[in-house]
A and B are shown apart, each in its own frame.
Chain A
Amino acid sequence: DAGVIQSPRHEVTEMGQEVTLRCKPISGHNSLFWYRQTMMRGLELLIYFNNNVPIDDSGMPEDRFSAKMPNASFSTLKIQPSEPRDSAVYFCASTPAVVVTGELFFGEGSRLTVL
């Protein structure tokens, strides 16, 4: 079975450019999470969806960040405009249940570098 699939794996862009990260969760999973990982702040939850509906976006840093889940098999995280401090590894994760009771399945991450 395919796991969580993220693209791109690596992205290098210049400050001010728009960045779109993509995620395909595991088929049949009802919850999807976006995390950001940096050396300074560790792993931070940005937003999560249940059944394609955003439930908690309190972790989104600011209005430059937005996330969508138009259907059960696809989600995007967009940064516009990007800034150097957005450089990080962004992980998508999914889980079968609506309530988090166990295992999150993580993708391999998208490493973003903003110059």
Chain B
Amino acid sequence: GNSVTQMEGPVTLSEEAFLTINCTYTATGYPSLFWYVQYPGEGLQLLLKATKADDKGSNKGFEATYRKETTSFHLEKGSVQVSDSAVYFCALTTGANNLFFGTGTRLTVIP
């Protein structure tokens, strides 16, 4: 079946620290992988995506590389800001009319 496992939070970092949020997946076929972000009081919005192995998705200083050999799609950012405080969701689709989400990781960045 299809599923996503991401590291449990919450994660608390100081401003300008390095961020890694781990995500691994199981999927039938060749999935596309996504990171979504949910800011307080808002709906989810797409942060970045990668559609095939070795692709790197990037946006707003965040990056994630599609690693087929380790079935992973870890989210990284070199220097986090207070405004990055949010819940981050890893997700995948195999094009079968659904998007499978992880449980979410809450990030809090303190000044």
Using CB atoms and an 8 Å cutoff, list the residues of chain A in contact with chain B: 4, 31, 33, 42-43, 45, 48, 50, 55-56, 91, 93, 98-109
Q: How far is the CA of A106 from the CA of B46 in the complex (A)?
A: 9
- Chain B residues with CB under 8 A of A105: 45
Q: CA of A86 to CA of B45 in the docked complex: distance in angstroms? A: 24
Contact of B89 with A106 in the complex, beta carbons under 8 Å: no
- Chain A residue with Cβ nearest B46: A103
B49 close to chain A: CB less than 8 A: yes
Are B42 and A45 in contact, with the CB atoms below 8 A? no
Partner among A50, A102, A106, A107 whose Cβ is within 8 Å of the Cβ of B97 = A50
In the complex the two chains form, is A107's CB within 8 Å of B43's CB?
yes
The reply to whether B43 and A4 form a contact with Cβ atoms under 8 Å apart is: yes
Please report B residues at the A interface, Cβ cutoff 8 Å: 32, 34, 41-46, 49, 89, 93, 95-99, 101-104
CA distance A4 to B44 in the complex (A): 11
Interface of B is mostly: loop
- Beta-carbon contact of A91 and B43 below 8 Å: yes
Q: Is the CB of B97 within 8 A of A42?
A: no
| Residue in B41, B42, B43, B95 whose Cβ sees the most chain A Cβ within 10 Å | B43
Q: Name which residue of chain A comes closest to B45, CB basis.
A: A106
List of A residues within 8 angstroms of B44 by Cβ: 43, 91, 93, 104, 106
Q: For B93, list chain A residues within 8 Å (CB).
A: 100-101
Closest Cβ of chain B to A88, distance in Å, is 14
Main secondary structure of the interface of A (DSSP, over half): strand
Chain A nearest Cβ from B56, distance in angstroms: 17
- In the assembled complex, the Cα of A76 lies from the Cα of B42 at a distance in Å of 20
From B46, B89, B98, B102, A45 is in contact (CB under 8 Å) with B98
Report yes or no: B95 in contact with A99, Cβ–Cβ below 8 A.
yes
B27 to chain A, nearest CB (A): 13
- Asked if A48 contacts B101 (CB within 8 A), the reply is no
Residues of B within 8 A of A107 (CB): 43
- Given the known inter-chain contacts A42-B103, A42-B104, A43-B89, please indicate yes or no for A100 contacting B97, CB distance below 8 A: yes
CA distance A110 to B39 in the complex (A): 15
